[in-house]
Amino acid sequence: MAQDAVGLPSDYQFWMWKLSVWGQASTSETQQDTCRHLPQFQEFLRQMYEALKEMDSSTVIERFPTIGQLLAKACLNPFILAYDESQKILIWCLCCLINKEPQNSGESKLNSWIREMLSHILSSFRFDMKEVGLFTHCLGYAPADYYPGLLKNMVLSLVSELRENHLNGFNTQRRMVPERVRSLSRVCAPLITLPDFKPLVEALLTYHGREPQEMLWPEFFDAVNDAFLLKKISLPKSAIVCLWLRHLPSLEKAVLHLFEKLISSERNSLRRIECFMKDSLLPEAACHPAIFRMVDEMFRYALLETDGAPEVLAAIQVFTWCFVEALEKEDTQLKFTLKTYFPYASPSLVMVLLQHPKGIPQGLWHQPLTHISEMLREIVEDQAHWSCRGPFESWFVLVHFGGWADVAAEHLLMSAAEPPEAWLWLLAFSYSPRDRSQWRAEAMAEGKAVLSRLRKLLRSPTLSARDVHAAAGEQSGDPRPPACPWLIRRLTLNFLLWAPGGHTIAREVITLMAQTDEITHEIIGFLDQTLYRWDRLCMEAPTSRKLARELLTELRVHV
């Protein structure tokens, strides 16, 4: 605060000058400039109040001899009084100046001036509404009874004017010319957080004139978007979709806001991510392909920038779950083709990935699984297919529906018959899209060996942690590190969750496995993701579920 007070004098001069220029905000130019500066001015007022409340009235006058002028100018500006919390802070500032026991005529004068200002802000009718004052007074009402109703009616009248315009643009009687709509959006920008303005904000957002260019003020969009992100205003989905479609910077800001929330929240479980996602309204809004594409592009950049960070992968997956859910709710029939959402991926691939595993009996999952794996493999390995965008696009689509790779890992272990190699390929591919076929061949060979050892152990009557650890290949005698340790860990963890005696040795195996913090985090991520997927798919697996939950809780305590 001391620092704030140091910066105050120069700010003070600036705002004094601004306020003089603005006057009572009667011309369009001064109004524009006022509206643009309202948030900063509120911040200045706040700092001013923090400084004032520490001083007594006479010190204030000594340090800021023109404070009265400054506050008076602010009190006379209706935009300042109507904006957010400015009127409240202004009142607080005035309260700081008042003398409890004025000692001389100067102090008395100051007191009565402050009282005049407060009365100007808080009571008495505006000069232009005298006749209304008399009327309400005779009825037995006070201004407090009158203003809310008047504002409601003014807003409703503007809303119906806009609607009429919208429906019947040639009706000359109540036509609002584009310039008037534009200036309405400008005037409204500082007022939108007043609950009374909600219908008008909605009407403006959904209003499209006949002019090709945007008629609303960019500042209006900014203000609505900021207020929405800060939860100072609640609007129906349709209005928000209009906002984001009409003003891309707002959409970008909304996605970045979501990212920031995800990053700043500690220990993200997928449930939490889901809450943030739904709260952002982005998955629902993404039912509109233009919005989906924009959000998806931002996810793509995040993925590339972080080199495929698991947190980003998880966020994309949860986003897709929520998006698909919203899409199903939106309409029984898809309004837009899948191609519009995923223009770079093979439509038939998207079709199969989109199949909700929940809709398929668990016993039949191997069919789509094999289908997906083979199709992907064909696309990735066929040069002609990925001539334009490379295997990355296929991988990026798979990432959205990452649940399928996890299902593959489970089925590799649990299927009664010998599992097809394609599933293993899918699992390896889901780890990395990079085309190093030799690497992938190695990883698959390793995976295959581990898998066959683990499958054998499934049938053994007694299990020991050492056996499992050995099966996972750590003691195979090969001095080279495995090509894809992640794949092996994934198979081992699934083994622990599903093998009949898995729960007795799980902790020991995990201790052997989790040699670094990074691996511990990976295991936590796996357990969280698995539990989330089981919930989503309504999987009945009480023993495995219990074990996974316990392990997750225990591991989280340690990090």
Partner 1 sequence: MESLLQHLDRFSEVLAVSRTTHVSSWDPATVRRALQWAGYLRHIHRRFGRHVRIRTALERRLHNHWKQVGGSGPASVPGLTSFRALERCDLLLSQRLLENPALGDAAFHSLLQQLFPGPGVLEAEEETLQGSLALLARRRSAVHVLRLNGYGETSVLQEDSVIKTQAELLLERLQQVGRAEAEGPSRFLSSLWERLPQNNFLQVIAAALLLPSSSPQPPKEPLEPDSPKTPGEGSQELVYWLLRKSDIMATFCRSLPAGLVTSVAGRHPDLFQVYLGLLTNWGRHLHYDLQKGIWVEAESQDVPWEELYGRFQSLCQAPSPLKDEVLTALASCKAQDGDFEVPGLSIWTDLLLALRSGA
Q: Which residues here bind partner 1, judged by CB under 8 A?
A: 25-26, 31, 53, 78-79, 81-82, 85, 87-88, 91-92, 95, 98-102, 108, 111-112, 115, 118-119, 121-124, 126, 128-129, 131-132, 134-154, 157-158, 174, 183-184, 187, 190-191, 194, 196-197
Q: Would you list the DSSP string of 516-535?
A: SHHHHHHHHHHHHHHHHHHH
Single-letter amino acid, residue 79:
F
Nearer Cβ to partner 1 (146/495): 146
Measuring CA to CA, which residue among 47, 20, 25, 49 is closest to residue 36? 25
The least distance separating partner 1 from the CB of residue 19, rounded to whole angstroms, comes to 16
Nearer Cβ to partner 1 (142/309): 142
Q: Which two tokens stand for residue 88?
A: 């409240």
The least distance separating partner 1 from the CB of residue 45, rounded to whole angstroms, comes to 12
Cβ neighbours of residue 336 closer than 8 Å, sequence gap 6 or more? 289
Nearer Cβ to partner 1 (136/494): 136
The least distance separating partner 1 from the CB of residue 163, rounded to whole angstroms, comes to 13
Nearer Cβ to partner 1 (17/135): 135
The least distance separating partner 1 from the CB of residue 15, rounded to whole angstroms, comes to 19
> What angle in degrees, to the nearest 10, is found between the helix axes of 289-305 and 310-330?
170
The least distance separating partner 1 from the CB of residue 34, rounded to whole angstroms, comes to 10
Nearer Cβ to partner 1 (115/546): 115
The least distance separating partner 1 from the CB of residue 128, rounded to whole angstroms, comes to 7
Counts for the chain of helices (H) and strands (E), in that order: 30, 0
Nearer Cβ to partner 1 (147/431): 147
The least distance separating partner 1 from the CB of residue 42, rounded to whole angstroms, comes to 13
Asked whether the beta carbons of 89 and 42 are under 8 A apart, the reply is yes
For residues 159 and 233, give the distance between their C-alpha atoms in angstroms, rounded to a whole number.
Answer: 18
Measuring CA to CA, which residue among 297, 405, 289, 393 is closest to residue 345? 393
Nearer Cβ to partner 1 (25/422): 25
Helix (H, G, I), strand (E, B) or coil at 448: helix
The least distance separating partner 1 from the CB of residue 116, rounded to whole angstroms, comes to 9
- H or E element, residue 303: helix 289-305
Single-letter amino acid, residue 336:
F
The least distance separating partner 1 from the CB of residue 431, rounded to whole angstroms, comes to 49
Nearer Cβ to partner 1 (171/367): 171
Q: Would you list the DSSP string of 63-116?
A: H-TTHHHHHHHHHT-HHHHHSTTHHHHHHHHHHHH--SS--SHHHHHHHHHHHH
The least distance separating partner 1 from the CB of residue 89, rounded to whole angstroms, comes to 8
Nearer Cβ to partner 1 (140/212): 140
Asked whether the beta carbons of 512 and 469 are under 8 A apart, the reply is yes
Nearer Cβ to partner 1 (25/227): 25
Nearer Cβ to partner 1 (146/321): 146
Name the DSSP class of 175.
P
The least distance separating partner 1 from the CB of residue 168, rounded to whole angstroms, comes to 15
Nearer Cβ to partner 1 (80/454): 80
CA distances from 38 to 9, 42, 101, 417, 550 (A): 19, 6, 35, 70, 52
The least distance separating partner 1 from the CB of residue 139, rounded to whole angstroms, comes to 5
Measuring CA to CA, which residue among 93, 56, 66, 54 is closest to residue 9? 66
Nearer Cβ to partner 1 (153/553): 153
For residues 501 and 536, give the distance between their C-alpha atoms in angstroms, rounded to a whole number.
Answer: 26
CA distances from 260 to 251, 253, 276, 474 (A): 14, 10, 11, 39
∠ CA 493-499-500, nearest 5°, is 145
Alpha-carbon torsion, ordered 67, 71, 72, 75, to 10 deg: 180
For residues 550 and 61, give the distance between their C-alpha atoms in angstroms, rounded to a whole number.
Answer: 65
The least distance separating partner 1 from the CB of residue 111, rounded to whole angstroms, comes to 6
Q: Would you list the DSSP string of 249-277?
A: HHHHHHHHHHHHHHHHSSS--HHHHHHHH
